[in-house]
Amino acid sequence: MSPVLVLLLLAGCAGPGDGGGGADPGGAYPLTVTNCGAQVTFASEPERVVLLKSAAVPFLHDLGVLDRVVARAGQYPDEYYDERTRAELDAIPLLTDRTDTSGHLQISREVVVAQRPDLVVGEVDNLDRATLAAAGIPLLEEPALCGAGVRDVSFEDVYEQMGFYGEVFDRREAASAAAARLRERVAQLSVPGSGRTAAVLYPTVGGGVTYAYGSGSMANPQLAAAGLTNVFADVDERVFEVSREELIARDPDVLVLLHGDGDPRAVVEAVTSVPGLAGVSAVRDGAVLPLLFNFTEPPTPLAVDGLERVVDRFGR
């Protein structure tokens, strides 16, 4: 175990809805934070971070600690980042970007452990909290991606998660300032309700399951801020399978299609070419917006950038 880190995993210490925030008061280490219902204690600031997902990048950049990342894995599309952030990422070695057909990262425990991290950010299928804890390595995951998810998701979750990372890296003032800037941007971008309906989907390119996002997802407040009503707001799950028949019945005026990488035209084709969907209002009217996944999910500063894209396309 790293000499600067003590990891305590106490399962079930948080309530069912506690996805990720919360830290001990005061600025001194050791610092204990609650993440996905487990407690993680840091003896000092993390100095060797490995990223297994891209979601945390804007938080770490805004706090000025992206240089603590010694390695990364997964996909980091350039479209997410400004020039400075891209330069910071380019300086971080990429272990692998290999994924399976479902988009899940393929990386071994040995490759991650070899980096000697004192913190891993982002959980993947074969590298969960318990597996890494056995090697003395703590894990932090975005609250919305925890098993219990987050209830009543809103942009407040973005601001709170900025504060969470501010606690972990002892950057509380920077976190407060960054959250204030994000809050102001959301207020400026938000538009009155237009009366139009929308659905946020994650289609499988090449045929297969299509997923929709309900009230447990960041898609819900993002659509609301853009003046749109989520046709799946009555479903309290974050994400779920949706049939062609259900989508036709809900008949959204607008479609936002999430994807991980690749040609956005293929993502649009994966939905618009489905038999029967040509009559859906959004498809008929061409009101379809492909959007990289982190521009909507999970709640991060990129969801604010995503809001700007949705408003520019549909909300003004």
pTM for this predicted structure = 0.87
pLDDT 10s digits, 147-205:
776 778 999 999 999 999 999 999 999 999 999 999 999 999 999 999 999 999 999 88
Give the mean model confidence (pLDDT) for residues 59-86: 96
pLDDT 10s digits, 276-313:
999 999 999 999 999 999 999 999 999 999 999 999 99
CATH T-level topology, domain 192-315: Rossmann fold (3.40.50)
The yes-or-no verdict on residue 109 having pLDDT over 70 is yes
The yes-or-no verdict on residue 316 having pLDDT over 50 is yes
CATH class name, domain 45-185: alpha beta
**Which residue ranges does the chain devote to CATH 3.40.50.1980?**
45-185, 192-315
DSSP the chain: --TTB-----TT-S-TT--S--B-SSSPSSEEEEETTEEEEESS---SEEESSSTTHHHHHHHT-GGGEEEE-S---GGGS-HHHHHHHHTSPB----B-TTS-B---HHHHHTT--SEEES-BTTB-HHHHHTTT--EE--GGGSTT--SS--THHHHHHHHHHHHHTT-HHHHHHHHHHHHHHHHHH-----SEEEEEEEEPTTSS-EEEE-TTSTHHHHHHHTTEEETTTT--SSEEEE-HHHHHHH--SEEEEEESSS-HHHHHHHHHTSTTGGGSHHHHTT-EEEEEGGGTSSSSHHHHHHHHHHIIIII-
